[in-house]
């Protein structure tokens, strides 16, 4: 069964990453891209948790949950690609600084604002956080850069034929992924479209199996792409990382070609 092959591939990939991720992290810490590197590296375990759950759901016929998880994985992939692309295009650590600075601040502000509004309904006289002001407005504007729609527009506008950055052929790929992401929104929110799609799959076990195998394959590709691009990023500054990048690239190509 294809899913079992993908699970084996994921185990082998994880073993290779476990043996080399420390060296990659140490190497990147010596570059000027310290915060950017930290962000890129963080997506390996974060996305790994999601990918593992997708494979488990696919192996146990958890078709509805895969829609929720796969949508999240797509967004993780877009943010990772955005950070990678901006760092190389700008040749600076600014995107990493924004990620751990004002993006974190924008998440806090958004939470505070919502909690304020909810609390006022229940306790109208209770004091609340002040989220107004030009500085907070600036923080929110930076946070918008990391939204998937703005990331899509940035990547399309900055696509070019380049050895390191995305090229023209990526435009249709990004569009197809964003269409997937948008279509899966109903799964996140428990909408009728997701209900309808899932009920149709439930009527035909062959279609369901094909769907689950497809999601497992796509998830494997997305997860692997984040690992590879992070290792490739590191190899640009340290030739010793190249062999680790090539090892992961070759392993993935071998195993996935069997599916």
Task: Give φ, ψ of 128 to 5 degrees.
Answer: -140, 165
If one counts every other C-beta atom within 10 angstroms of the C-beta of residue 153, the result is 11
Question: What does the domain layout of the chain look like in residue ranges?
Answer: 2-256
Work out the pLDDT band at 106, boundaries 50, 70, 90: confident
Share of the chain above pLDDT 90, in %: 71
Helical (H) or strand (E) element with 254: helix 242-256
What is the pLDDT, as a whole number, of residue 214?
A: 95
Q: What Rg do the C-alpha atoms of the chain give, in angstroms?
A: 20
What is the pLDDT, as a whole number, of residue 170?
A: 81
Instruction: Give me the count of residues in the chain.
Output: 259
Answering whether pTM is above 0.85, one says yes
User: Kindly report the CA angle at 25 between 166 and 229, in degrees rounded to 5?
Assistant: 15
Chain centre distance of CA 259: 23
Tokens for 199? Answer: 């009920």
CB 230 within 8 Å of CB 24? yes
> Alpha-carbon distance 153 to 144, whole Å?
12
What is the pLDDT, as a whole number, of residue 1?
A: 56
Work out the pLDDT band at 48, boundaries 50, 70, 90: very high
């Amino acid at each position: 069964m294809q899913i079992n092959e993908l699970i084996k591939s994921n185990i082998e990939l994880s073993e290779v990453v476990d043996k080399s991720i420390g060296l990659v992290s140490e190497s990147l810490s010596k570059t000027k891209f310290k915060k950017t590197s930290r962000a890129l590296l963080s997506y390996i375990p974060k996305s790994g948790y999601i990918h593992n759950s997708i494979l488990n759901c696919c192996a146990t016929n958890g078709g509805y949950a895969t829609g929720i998880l796969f949508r999240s994985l797509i967004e993780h992939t877009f943010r990772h690609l955005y950070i990678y692309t901006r760092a190389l295009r700008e040749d600076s650590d600014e995107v990493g600084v924004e990620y751990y600075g004002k993006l974190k601040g924008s998440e806090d502000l958004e939470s505070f604002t919502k909690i304020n509004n909810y609390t006022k309904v229940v306790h109208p006289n209770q004091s609340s956080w002040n989220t107004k002001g030009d500085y907070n407005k600036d923080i929110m504007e930076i946070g918008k850069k990391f939204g998937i729609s703005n990331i899509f527009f940035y990547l399309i506008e900055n696509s070019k034929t380049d050895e390191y950055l995305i090229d023209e052929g990526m435009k249709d790929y990004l569009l197809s992924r964003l269409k997937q992401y948008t279509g899966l929104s109903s799964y996140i929110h428990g909408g009728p479209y997701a209900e309808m799609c899932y009920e149709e799959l439930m009527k035909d076990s062959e279609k369901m199996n094909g769907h689950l195998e497809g999601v497992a394959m796509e998830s494997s590709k997305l997860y692997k792409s984040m690992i590879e691009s992070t290792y490739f990023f590191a190899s640009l500054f340290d030739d010793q990382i190249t062999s680790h990048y090539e090892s992961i690239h070759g392993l993935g190509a071998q195993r996935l070609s069997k599916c």
